Amino acid sequence: MDHHKPLLVDVPGNLCLDNSALMVEAAVKGLGIAFVPEPYARQAIAQGDAVLVLESWCPPIEGLCLYYSSHRQIPATLQAFITAIREAS
């Protein structure tokens, strides 16, 4: 694993968002950087409006995982969700 120097960024204010699309939009407008799944930023990157930073700190994720209790009985709602996710992939 690479040893990296700490990254220091002077931020004059703060903006907290919980929507990846809005985070990308804010970053494109120069309001800071956004830590979002790459698909949300792909278009802005392709258009040259955004660039990837700290790539070595963000290894690719091969897919999502779902962890749930190993109880014998899985609630019907959780089972329906698992089935829907499997069918969508």
**Full residue range of the structural domain in which residue 48 is found:** 20-88
Count of domains for the chain: 1
29-33 mean pLDDT? 91
36, 24 in Cβ contact below 8 A? yes
CB atoms within 10 A of CB 25: 16
Domain for residue 43, yes or no?
yes
* Residue 58 forms part of a structural domain: yes
| Apex 51 CA angle, 47 and 55, nearest 5 | 140
Task: Categorize the per-residue pLDDT at 59 as very low, low, confident or very high, splitting at 50, 70 and 90.
Answer: confident
Residue 4 domain-assigned (yes or no): no
Residue 36 lies in a domain: yes
Would residue 49 count as lying in a domain? yes
Would 54 be classed as within a structural domain? yes
| pLDDT tens per residue, range 41-54 | 999 999 999 999 88
The H or E element containing residue 86 is: helix 76-88
In a domain, 2, yes or no: no
Residue, of 67 and 53, whose pLDDT is higher: 53
Residue 56 within a domain: yes
* Residue (of 17, 26, 20) closest to 38 by Cα position: 20
